[in-house]
């Protein structure tokens, strides 16, 4: 079923009572320079579910997340992405974020000179209607509550975004941004990389606390380990720019046991 006509204006929402709320990626092709990295990738993440993408290094996992976020280095050459029926690929980067898409980067960027608190405040302010101001007291109450959940020291509010943060602190900070922005769909790109087991549990607890019917989550990971803590509803395997297998959580365990080679040979 196609609930939405292709080629309509960006951001326009077509009301359709039969429409299921989901992030829908259809036959997506994307290039970097001349090289095609995504070669017809399709998958659907219904709101309320946690899906995992696993795959060998270089298979296109980060490329997918950056293409969804609208990174300028990547050119989409085919396919479409619908977020609750909105044509995501025709939206500007900031519009994607305001519409409820969130990406936690594999390599979070540092923003010297911008404090974490001001960054989050500006990001939230940008979501409000014109003329409406964030209530500073409520903002800090919420910020501290989320930081406590993620076991982050209060000093992180005044520090520049990610500057001098350890790998684990950067990943926690990504999840803090997610907790503050309350997206509709969140993509977590290798949020487990660089985390020791304690930090991994804190991050997973934070993500699990946000799980619910109003959020779809795509967890991208090379290793099964993270999925011990964030239990996915569905697991997809990405290889050479395409989904080659979709299954339940047991697929991740099978990959852990057998590696990727058996699937690549079967594909
Ligand atoms: P994964 O996240 O699955 O490890 P990536 O999406 O990062 O894979 O990379 C997929 C392929 O695209 C790799 O072969 C990588 O070398 C290539 N690639 C990614 N980013 C760039 C870039 N900025 N310039 C050139 N090649 C890139
Ligand atoms: Mg990657």
User: How far is the C-alpha of 208 from the C-alpha of 229, rounded, in Å?
Assistant: 8
Residue 136: Cβ-neighbour burial (10 angstroms; 0-12, 13-18, 19+): exposed
Q: Which of 70-74, 205-209, 222-226 has the lowest mean pLDDT?
A: 222-226
Tokens of 184: 């509709």
Tokens for 44?
């659907």
Helices (H), the chain: 61-69, 93-98, 116-125, 136-149, 167-181, 197-210, 225-229, 250-258, 261-266
Q: Relative to the alpha carbon of 189, which ligand is closest?
A: 2
pTM of full prediction above 0.85? yes
How far apart are the C-alpha atoms of 46 and 24, rounded to whole Å? 8
User: Which DSSP helix (H) or strand (E) runs through 131?
Assistant: none
Give the tens place of pLDDT for each residue, 88-126.
999 999 999 999 999 998 888 999 999 999 999 999 998
> Exposed e or buried b for every residue in 209-225, given b needs 16+ CB within 10 A?
ebeeeebbbbbbbbebe
Q: Is the pLDDT reported for residue 4 higher than 60?
A: no
> Which numbered ligand comes closest to the C-alpha of 190?
2
pLDDT at 5: 45
Tell how far the Cα of 151 is from the centroid of ligand 1, in angstroms.
33
d(CA 261, CA 258): 8
Predicted pLDDT of residue 7: 47
How high is the pLDDT of residue 166? 87
Greater confidence, 234 or 193? 234
pLDDT digits (tens, 9 = 90+) for 7-61: 445 544 555 545 679 999 999 999 999 999 999 999 999 999 999 999 999 999 9
Is 73's C-beta closer than 6 angstroms to any atom of ligand 1?
yes
For domain 22-107+166-266, the CATH superfamily is: P-loop containing nucleotide triphosphate hydrolases (3.40.50.300)
Which candidate, 45, 53, 57, places its Cα nearest to that of 235? 53
Residue 220 has pLDDT above 60, yes or no: yes
> How much of the chain, in percent, has pLDDT values that exceed 90?
73
Strands 216-221 and 101-104: unpaired
Q: Whose CA is nearest to atom 19 of ligand 1?
A: 63
Q: DSSP 3-state assignment of 33? A: coil
Q: What is the pLDDT of residues 154-198, one digit of tens each?
A: 999 999 999 999 888 998 999 999 999 999 999 999 888 888 888
Kindly report the average pLDDT of the chain as a whole number.
90
pLDDT higher than threshold 50 for residue 3: no
Question: Residue 157: CB within 6 Å of ligand 1?
Answer: no
Spell out the domain ranges in the chain.
22-107+166-266
Rg of the chain on CA atoms, in Å: 18
Reported as a single tens digit per residue, the pLDDT across 146-165 is 999 998 999 999 999 999 99
- Say if ligand 1 is within 6 A of residue 63 CB: yes
């Amino acid at each position: 079923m196609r609930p939405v006509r292709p080629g309509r204006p960006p951001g326009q929402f077509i009301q359709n009572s039969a429409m299921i709320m989901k992030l829908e990626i259809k036959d997506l092709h994307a290039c970097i320079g001349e090289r095609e990295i995504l070669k017809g990738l399709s998958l659907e993440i219904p709101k309320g579910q946690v899906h995992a993408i696993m795959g060998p290094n270089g298979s296109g996992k980060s490329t997918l997340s950056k293409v969804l976020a609208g990174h300028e280095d990547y050119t989409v050459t085919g396919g479409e992405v619908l977020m609750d029926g909105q044509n995501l690929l025709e939206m500007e980067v900031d519009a994607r974020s305001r519409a409820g898409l969130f990406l936690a980067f594999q390599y979070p960027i540092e923003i010297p000179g911008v404090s974490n608190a001001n960054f989050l405040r500006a990001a939230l302010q940008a979501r409000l209607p014109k003329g409406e101001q964030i209530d500073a007291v409520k903002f800090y109450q919420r910020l501290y509550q989320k930081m406590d959940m993620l076991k982050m020291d209060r000093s992180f509010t005044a520090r520049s975004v990610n500057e001098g943060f350890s790998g684990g602190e950067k990943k926690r900070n990504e999840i803090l941004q997610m907790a503050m922005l309350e997206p509709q769909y969140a993509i977590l790109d290798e949020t487990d990389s660089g985390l020791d087991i304690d930090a991994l549990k804190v991050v997973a607890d934070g993500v699990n606390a946000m799980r619910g019917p109003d959020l779809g989550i795509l967890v991208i990971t090379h290793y099964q380990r993270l999925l011990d803590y964030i239990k996915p509803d569905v697991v997809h395997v990405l290889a050479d720019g395409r989904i080659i297998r979709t299954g339940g959580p047991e697929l991740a365990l099978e990959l852990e046991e057998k590696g990727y080679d058996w699937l690549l040979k079967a594909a």
